[in-house]
């Protein structure tokens, strides 16, 4: 059953969109990712213009993130302090992204830049995961010697934060 998308200026199968949203939402909840990096290229594959796909993916991420937050909050898996820090960075990054998006759109290069960035970004993520997996496989062969931890001078720098729920300690 086709549905007309007036902003994108095209018709898309309603059931394909429902399946796409459900699949991306499922993977978002399973792996703890926002889902926009999955949804945007898939929408572009369906023929949705890149600029509209990015905006649509951003909206879908909000729903998936909120429902994931609620589910993990009930299991007491949420580190609120880390979330607050990441949210502040997300607001700053989103603001800069909107400015860059407007500038590229005025130049008429937004579609090309979005497509290239997705290829580079997803390729980098895939390559990093492959290297990490191979490294973990090679290290699992033998038990290494544990070194005693010692304090580094940068541990006393400002802006260090402890995230107790996550068990992380961060210093710039």
Task: Give 6's pLDDT tier (boundaries 50, 70, 90).
Answer: confident
- Quick one: pLDDT at residue 171? 64
The terminus-to-terminus CA distance of the chain in angstroms comes to 52
Start-end of H helices in 32-149: 36-45, 50-74, 80-107, 110-139
Using pLDDT thresholds of 50, 70 and 90, give the confidence band for residue 31: confident
Averaged pLDDT score across all residues of the chain? 81
How sure is the predictor about 52, in pLDDT bands with cuts at 50, 70 and 90?
confident
pLDDT of residue 149: 65
In the structure, what pLDDT confidence band is assigned to residue 146 with cuts at 50, 70 and 90?
low
pTM of structure: 0.57
Sign of CA dihedral 88, 90, 96, 99: negative
Sign of CA dihedral 92, 65, 124, 97: negative
Decide the pairing of beta strands 161-163 and 168-170. Answer: antiparallel
Q: What is the mean pLDDT of residues 44-55?
A: 85
Asked if residue 16 has pLDDT above 70, the reply is yes
> Where do the domains of the chain lie?
2-96
Report the distance separating Cα 18 and Cα 34, nearest Å: 17
Maximal C-alpha separation, the chain: 63
Structure token digits, residue 75: 């299991």
143 pLDDT higher than 60: no
């Amino acid at each position: 059953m086709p549905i007309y998308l007036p902003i994108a200026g095209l018709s898309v199968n309603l059931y394909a969109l429902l399946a796409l949203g459900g699949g991306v939402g499922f993977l978002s909840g399973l792996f703890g990712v926002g889902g926009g990096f999955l949804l945007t290229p898939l929408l572009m594959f369906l023929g949705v213009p890149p600029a509209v796909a990015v905006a649509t993916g951003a909206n879908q991420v909000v729903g998936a993130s909120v429902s994931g937050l609620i589910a993990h909050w009930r299991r007491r898996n949420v580190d609120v302090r880390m979330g607050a820090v990441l949210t502040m960075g997300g607001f700053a990054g989103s603001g800069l992204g909107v400015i860059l998006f407007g500038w590229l759109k005025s130049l008429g290069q937004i579609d090309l830049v979005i497509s290239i960035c997705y290829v580079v970004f997803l390729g980098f993520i895939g390559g990093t995961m492959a290297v990490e997996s191979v490294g973990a496989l090679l290290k699992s062969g033998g038990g290494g010697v544990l070194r005693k931890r010692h304090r580094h001078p940068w541990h006393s720098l400002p802006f260090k934060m402890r995230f107790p729920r996550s068990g992380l300690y961060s210093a710039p």
